[in-house]
């Protein structure tokens, strides 16, 4: 079958050249504006060309080799590029070069996405591989406990030759593969034990935000797979119970809740961060103070946890809502891919990736908007950080992999029905 034929099948998503061109133009002009602002900045010029190029490669060039969900791809790449842009604006008067680094991570992310697509698309027999994945993930998980460093109250980082790595982010990909593989084969205890092990290690590392995301993802996938409401309800109750115990036992959880209720009371100490976040969002108003303006650097960890506040300050709450809508579309596309899958392994994998992205988005954006207590998780695709970006692109890779198989299946159906139709039209067809 030639590529032309691919494109002619009924449900094939046509690449929207206009959408991608608009995205490329947006980022090109944004980086150019920043590069020309005040003094000339070579980093801005470099990014003005590099970022649109990366967008082109990921959304227009890669899908030539396999059928893809273009809208999903376009949105994920827009968010990645937005992260690079916002990080670059915070570099302008700070002497950091997070924008440039994030662009490098972005290109690594595209490579990982490709790897995950290939993994899902071409690996047919997971029996042996999944055990290897499990072993590797378990090893990665305990690594920070052995050689980790503490950052912001949680020991979830390791240092390898100068670069720091957050293994729990990478284990997310393995977790999804393991959960969907064993769930689809009804091996309850295998996935359960692995999930409990991961949660236990995360608790030991005091990385409660990530633990929350792991827990909800596993619970949602369990419900999707079995439809067992009583056990799912028990799981929810268990989660609430664990949260209450955590509130009682961990002083820093108590602090977070108190800050959430009224950050201004604790302004001088722990409430400082969320208070600064709220002031930044309020300063932006509806349409923002403008690209590269505002004072993002006064917010603690503006480049990871609080990057949504920086977006809202520069582009306004209106744009912030649009970003939320993009995540919403991402989730709808993910669900559509999951419901289109023909095997329960692929369906669960796609659904798990979707739920994971959705929950993580809610936890961080809800936290920044003070709807729920702020926990230290990253904003998918946008936050500064190699491991976070890479794992999110890996999730997109899973989704694209499943989408490509769905597409192949559809085309196969199409072919069959066609040949059936042709056979029926022939008067002397034997045996039909």
Partner 1 sequence: MKQLRTRFRLLTLVVIALLLVAGLYGVYSVTIYGSRWFSNSRNTRYQSAKRTVIAGDILDRNGVVMATTDSDGERVYQSSIKARRASVHLIGDREGNVANGVDSFQANYLLGFETSLSERVAALLRGETRRGDDVTLTADSKLNTHIVNAFESGVNTKGKSGAAVVMNYRTGEVLALVSLPVFDPQNLTESDRNNAQHPFWNRALQSTLAPGSTFKIITAASAFENLSDIATHQFTCTGATKVLDQTIHDYRMAQHGNLTLERAFTVSCNNAFAQCALILEDAALRKTAESFGFNDNFLFRDLVVENSVYPTTNRNLVEVAWSGAGQSQIGATPLHMCMVAAAIANNGVMMEPRLLLQVKGPGGVVRMRFTSKEYRRAVSTDIAATLQTFMKNVVASGTGTAARVNGLTIAGKTGSAEAAVDGQAVTHAWFVGYIESSKLPYACAVLVESGDSGGSVAAPLAASIFKYLLDTYGK
Q: Are 334 and 72 in contact (CB under 8 A)?
A: yes
**Cβ-count burial 309-329 (b if 16+ within 10 Å, e if not):** bbbbbbbbbebbeebeebbee
Q: Report CA Rg, the chain.
A: 23
Strand partners, 156: none
Q: What's the rounded Cα separation, in Å, for the pair 190 and 65?
A: 36
Task: Please report the beta strands in 10-76, taking only residues with DSSP state E, as ranges in sequence order.
Answer: none
Question: Per-residue string for binding with partner 1, 212-241, x by CB under 8 A?
Answer: --------x--xxx-x--------------
Pick the binder of partner 1 from 25, 282, 416, 423 (CB under 8 A). 282
Which lies closer to partner 1 via its Cβ, residue 132 or residue 257? 257
The reply on whether position 283 binds partner 1 by CB under 8 A is yes
Which lies closer to partner 1 via its Cβ, residue 66 or residue 181? 181
Which lies closer to partner 1 via its Cβ, residue 63 or residue 294? 294
Tokens encoding 329: 């579309």
Taking CB under 8 A as the binding criterion, the range among 73-81, 110-118, 238-246, 360-368 that sits at the site for partner 1 is: 360-368
Residue 56: CB minimum distance to partner 1, A: 29
Residue 155: CB minimum distance to partner 1, A: 29
Which lies closer to partner 1 via its Cβ, residue 240 or residue 424? 240
Which lies closer to partner 1 via its Cβ, residue 255 or residue 342? 342
How many residues belong to the chain?
Answer: 432
Residue 404: CB minimum distance to partner 1, A: 19
Pick the binder of partner 1 from 35, 253, 307, 351 (CB under 8 A). 351
Pick the binder of partner 1 from 142, 231, 242, 331 (CB under 8 A). 331
The reply on whether position 324 binds partner 1 by CB under 8 A is yes
Q: What's the burial of 330, exposed, middle or buried (CB within 10 Å: 0-12/13-18/19+)?
A: buried
Tokens encoding 406: 């769905």
Which lies closer to partner 1 via its Cβ, residue 106 or residue 327? 327
Which lies closer to partner 1 via its Cβ, residue 325 or residue 429? 325
Q: What's the rounded Cα separation, in Å, for the pair 269 and 369?
A: 19
Which lies closer to partner 1 via its Cβ, residue 238 or residue 285? 285
Largest CA distance in the chain: 88
Residue 217: CB minimum distance to partner 1, A: 10
Which lies closer to partner 1 via its Cβ, residue 108 or residue 331? 331
Pick the binder of partner 1 from 58, 119, 365, 399 (CB under 8 A). 365
Residue 318: CB minimum distance to partner 1, A: 9
The reply on whether position 338 binds partner 1 by CB under 8 A is yes
The reply on whether position 385 binds partner 1 by CB under 8 A is no
Which lies closer to partner 1 via its Cβ, residue 157 or residue 381? 381
Q: Crossing angle, helix 70-91 and helix 42-56, to 10 degrees?
A: 170
Q: What's the rounded Cα separation, in Å, for the pair 204 and 210?
A: 12
Strands 163-165 and 154-160: antiparallel
DSSP string, 363-382: HHHHHHTTSS-----PPTTT
Tokens encoding 195: 């999930």
Q: What's the rounded Cα separation, in Å, for the pair 4 and 145?
A: 53
Residue 358: CB minimum distance to partner 1, A: 4
Nearest to 99 by CA among 291, 247, 238, 345: 291
The reply on whether position 361 binds partner 1 by CB under 8 A is yes
The reply on whether position 190 binds partner 1 by CB under 8 A is no
Q: What's the rounded Cα separation, in Å, for the pair 329 and 74?
A: 11
Neighbour count for residue 77 (Cβ, 10 Å):
28
The reply on whether position 67 binds partner 1 by CB under 8 A is no
The reply on whether position 145 binds partner 1 by CB under 8 A is no
The reply on whether position 362 binds partner 1 by CB under 8 A is yes
Give backbone dihedrals phi and psi of 294, rounded to 5 degrees, phi first: 85, -175
Q: What's the rounded Cα separation, in Å, for the pair 424 and 235?
A: 53
Size of the site for partner 1 (CB under 8 A): 47
The reply on whether position 273 binds partner 1 by CB under 8 A is no
Which residues sit at the interface with partner 1, rule CB under 8 A? 220, 223-225, 227, 264, 267, 275, 278-283, 285, 289, 294-295, 298, 317, 320-321, 324-325, 327-328, 331-332, 334-335, 338-339, 342, 344, 347, 351, 354-355, 358-359, 361-362, 365-366, 369-371
């Amino acid at each position: 079958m030639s590529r032309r034929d691919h494109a002619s099948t009924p449900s094939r998503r046509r690449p929207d050249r206009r959408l991608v061109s608009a995205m490329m133009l947006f980022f090109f002009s944004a980086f150019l504006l920043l590069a020309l602002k005040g003094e000339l900045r070579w980093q801005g010029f470099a990014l003005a060309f590099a970022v649109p190029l990366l967008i082109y490669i990921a959304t227009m060039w890669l899908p030539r080799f396999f059928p893809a969900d273009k809208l999903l791809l376009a949105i994920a790449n827009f968010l990645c590029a937005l992260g690079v842009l916002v990080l670059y604006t915070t570099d302008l008067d700070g002497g950091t070069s997070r924008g440039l680094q994030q662009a490098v991570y972005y290109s690594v992310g595209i490579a990982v996405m490709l790897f995950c697509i290939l993994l899902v698309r071409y690996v047919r027999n997971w029996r042996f591989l999944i055990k290897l994945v499990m072993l590797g993930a378990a090893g990665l998980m305990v690594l920070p406990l052995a050689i980790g460093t503490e950052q912001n109250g949680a020991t979830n980082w390791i240092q390898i030759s100068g670069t720091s790595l957050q293994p729990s982010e990478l284990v997310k990909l393995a977790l999804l593969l393991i959960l969907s593989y064993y769930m689809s084969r009804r091996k309850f205890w295998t996935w359960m034990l692995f999930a409990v092990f991961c949660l236990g290690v995360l608790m030991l590392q005091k990385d409660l935000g990530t633990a929350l995301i792991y827990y909800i993802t596993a619970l949602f996938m369990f419900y999707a797979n079995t439809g067992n409401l009583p056990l799912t309800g028990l799981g929810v109750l268990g989660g609430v119970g664990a949260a209450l115990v955590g509130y009682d036992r961990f002083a820093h959880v108590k602090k977070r809740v108190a800050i959430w209720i009224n950050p201004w009371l604790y302004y001088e100490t722990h409430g400082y961060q969320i208070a600064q976040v709220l002031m930044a969002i309020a300063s932006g108003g509806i349409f923002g103070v403008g690209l590269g303006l505002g004072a993002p650097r006064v917010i603690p960890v503006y480049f990871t946890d609080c990057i949504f506040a920086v977006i809202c300050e520069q582009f306004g709450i209106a744009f912030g809502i649009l970003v939320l809508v993009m995540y919403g579309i991402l989730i709808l596309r993910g669900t559509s891919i999951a419901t289109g899958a023909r095997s329960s392994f692929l369906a669960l994998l796609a659904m798990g990736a979707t739920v994971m992205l959705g929950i993580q988005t809610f936890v961080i954006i809800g936290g920044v908007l003070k709807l729920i207590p702020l926990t230290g998780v990253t904003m998918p695709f946008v936050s500064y950080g190699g491991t976070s970006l890479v794992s999110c692109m890996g999730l997109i890779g899973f989704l694209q992999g499943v989408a490509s198989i769905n597409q192949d299946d559809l085309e196969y159906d199409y072919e069959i029905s066609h040949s059936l139709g042709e056979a029926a039209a022939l008067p002397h067809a034997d045996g039909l």
